Structure 1
Amino acid sequence: MALATCATVAGGMADFLVARAMGRMGGGARLPPRVRDMCARLGRPLRERTFSCVLVLRLLPVGSAMMLSIAAGLAGARAAGFIAATLLGSLPQTVVFVLVGGGTEVNHQWQVALAVVLFVISGLGGVWLLRASRIARADRTT
């Protein structure tokens, strides 16, 4: 699990740093329109509330982790907040994937069941945090 967590955070940081460098060189204009639109919508919340914004979006079991990393890098989000939120926000899903991967043997149905329960809890927690936060409302005020 530690290895999977380190790989997740390292991958997110790589995307973040490359996107930040691209943004500084004006390369953001070459991104597909869908990615540019997402970056524009999330830019202000990612800059102003990096940790909470990234944490909520990482906890949601839908969406693209890579696109979030790119959006955070292009938006100029704080690296420390991005790393911490990526670590905490991706941890529940990493646990799920490790449990499911280890549960493919016969007589390990409890691992798969626990993984499904954790996946549902992670998703519900992410939705609750999204509704409780100002991230959804920040898009309307920009």
Structure 2
Amino acid sequence: MDDLLSKVLELQPSWTAANTKEMKERGAVIRQHLPDLLRQNRPRLTAALGVPPGDLGVEGRDGTGLKSEIPWVRVFVREQSPSSTTGWYVVYLFSATGRRVYLSLNQGTTIWTGGVFKARRVEDLRARVDWGPAATGGSHSRARGPARDH
């Protein structure tokens, strides 16, 4: 895992929207290698989440057509988060500078309208953020700890 995360971070400073050699390599790690490695750990992940193995999804994205500056790989329960714009999921996010990788609990914040992504209403997002700790038995805090270098 460390080698794959490091490879993405190493390639991040070479980001361009064009599908260069570096972006093709980054795409292979994001869309194939990291998801494959996470899928190998499916039994442990599904046991921890309490879901059947077929309900757990893993996907990586680095842009459709043009390459996105911030690639990501997410682990999700299919019924609860059928797309990255819907529901909650755990995601690896890579900094644009290539200095950090974050493991984050995220929720879909946009809606695909068929032509563009539209931001969800702030009130709706806040209500979901407030719901999260109550649903998981955790404490509520919007504060974030310090980012860690990989």
Structures share fold, TM-score greater than 0.5: no
Of structures 1 and 2, the one with the larger relative CO (CA 8 A, separation 6+) is 1
Task: Determine which structure has the larger strand proportion and give its number.
Answer: 2
TM-score of the superposed pair, with normalisation by structure 1 = 0.29
